[in-house]
Amino acid sequence: MSKPFAISAQKIFDGTRWHEGAALLVENTRVKFIGPISEVPGGVELRDLGAGIISPGFVDLQVNGGGGVLLNNAPDVEGIRTICATHARFGTTSLFPTLITDTTEVRNAALDAAIQAHRENVPGFAGLHLEGPHLSIARKGAHDAKLIRAMNGEDVTTLITAHENIPMLMMTIAPESVTPEQVAALTKAGIRISLGHSDANHEQIVPLMRAGANMFTHLFNAMSQTTGREPGMVGTALSAGYASIIADGHHVHPTSIKLALAAKQNQSSKIFLISDAMSFTGTDFTELVLNGRKILRQGGKLTLEDGTLAGADIEMVSAVRFMHRQIKVELGEALRMATTYPCAAISLNDAGHLAIGAPADFVWLSEEIEPLATWIGGKQVAH
């Protein structure tokens, strides 16, 4: 058991509001107190970081890779460990390693790896995201069309069984490949369902939402668009449900991001940030191979050789910075989009905020919104 300590900076953001002249007291991996420095108990070590911001650690629900590792190419616990450690350097303290559409064998290996990562308490591992293979070929994006298929009964059984030993399982699926009955069975078991990579119309989407799907994957990208007579997946997402977005300046036009934020302003379900990062994060690599196809890194953008976008060349801190600087979102709101909102989308109650009893997962950011150090469970894991 480590000794309690207090830590302070110019500002602390707890996920809801700002504190100045305050300290965070950490005891036994959790937040014991947040309040005036003068109220820190005597005898407790106080670490004053000086300038900058202490924020809840970022929560990233879509992370394909990092540190030279792509989950599809390394579906094992060491692959997950590397991905988590790499993104911790950029302030992410809870993430969902994400498997892009692949074979059943690779999917099962990823499920086994997630179970093992949970058993080994890998720092930063919060659950697994399966993006595919139950998508729409018409909106496949960078996913391999040969591997996209409809969900069957065996899939449902395998997923529900695996979920019993994983802290949380999230899936991106398309109405074209999954029935409302299957979604109902999955969500009843506690699996989180997001809709995406789909050309479905509003009438096809609504039954899956009624069955338990409550969010949408990378809003605007790889989904049916809105017209005057058909809301499509974009319009449906803007009217109800949480939605993730890739804020990198390549995937979504700034005006479209502003439109989405305005649409959600008075809704309880919000827009939240994801990185959609690939194995390039934390490396100087310029290409990788996914299902036999090259993904190229050029000018801050990742594409297949035919120009199709294939993930993003960002981390969560970059997305926060983009939202604040380019979209002119207030910094606290940009931080919520990377912390409290993704947690709300999947009912992850033990992350994304700094309150008494919450895990001591936090990041120290410079005034320029650059990550300076990261703590998970009160232990410094990156600096």
Model pLDDT for residues 210-247, shown as the tens digit of each residue: 999 999 999 999 999 999 999 999 999 999 999 999 99
| CB 283 within 8 Å of CB 352 | no
The yes-or-no verdict on residue 118 having pLDDT over 90 is: yes
CA distances from 129 to 57, 169, 180, 239 (A): 19, 6, 20, 24
The yes-or-no verdict on residue 99 having pLDDT over 80 is: yes
CATH of 58-346, one of 3.20.20.140, 3.30.470.20, 3.40.1410.10, 3.20.20.70: 3.20.20.140
Q: SS3 of 94, please?
A: strand
The yes-or-no verdict on residue 2 having pLDDT over 90 is: no
Alpha-helical regions (H) of the chain: 77-88, 104-119, 153-163, 180-188, 202-210, 232-239, 254-264, 316-325, 331-336, 340-346
**Omega before 133 cis (within 30°)?**
yes
| Interval 302-325: pLDDT, tens | 999 999 999 999 999 999 999 999
| CB 44 within 8 Å of CB 4 | yes
Reported as type and span, the H/E element at residue 55 is strand 53-56
Cα separation, 317 vs 274, in Å, equals 10
Q: Which pair of structure tokens corresponds to residue 96?
A: 């969902």
| CB 202 within 8 Å of CB 235 | yes
* Cα-Cα end-to-end distance for the chain: 22
Mean pLDDT of 313-342: 98
Percent of the chain with pLDDT over 90: 96
Question: How would you class 145 by CB atoms within 10 Å of its CB: exposed for 0-12, middle for 13-18, buried for 19 or more?
Answer: exposed
Q: Which pair of structure tokens corresponds to residue 1?
A: 């058991």
* CATH superfamily name and code, 5-55+355-382: Urease, subunit C, domain 1 (2.30.40.10)
Percent of the chain with pLDDT over 70: 100
Q: Based on C-alpha coordinates, what's the Rg of the chain? A: 20
The yes-or-no verdict on residue 56 having pLDDT over 80 is: yes
CA distances from 14 to 33, 177, 370 (A): 11, 40, 18
| CB 7 within 8 Å of CB 54 | yes
The yes-or-no verdict on residue 359 having pLDDT over 80 is: yes
Cα separation, 75 vs 106, in Å, equals 7
The yes-or-no verdict on residue 185 having pLDDT over 70 is: yes
| CB 370 within 8 Å of CB 47 | no
Whose structure tokens read 């602390």? Answer: 12
Active site residue 276: yes
Inter-axis angle of helices 232-239 and 254-264, nearest 10? 40
The pLDDT, as a whole number, for residue 305 is 94
pLDDT band at 1 (very low <50, low <70, confident <90, very high): low
Q: CB-side exposure of 380: number of CA atoms within 13 Å?
A: 9
Residues 6+ apart with CB under 8 A from 172: 129, 130, 131, 132, 135, 194, 195, 196, 197, 217
Inter-axis angle of helices 153-163 and 104-119, nearest 10? 10
The pLDDT, as a whole number, for residue 269 is 95
The yes-or-no verdict on residue 42 having pLDDT over 90 is: no
The yes-or-no verdict on residue 49 having pLDDT over 90 is: yes
Task: Note if the pTM is more than 0.85.
Answer: yes
Cα separation, 296 vs 303, in Å, equals 5
The yes-or-no verdict on residue 383 having pLDDT over 90 is: no
Mean pLDDT estimate for the chain: 97
Catalytic residue among 276, 313, 350, 361: 276
Question: Worst-scoring range by mean pLDDT, 74-78, 109-113, 265-269?
Answer: 265-269
| Interval 362-378: pLDDT, tens | 999 999 999 999 999 99
The yes-or-no verdict on residue 23 having pLDDT over 80 is: yes
Cα separation, 208 vs 211, in Å, equals 5
Cα separation, 67 vs 283, in Å, equals 6
| CB 125 within 8 Å of CB 359 | no
Report domain extents, the chain: 5-55+355-382, 58-346
Mean pLDDT of 69-88: 98
Q: CB-side exposure of 112: number of CA atoms within 13 Å?
A: 9
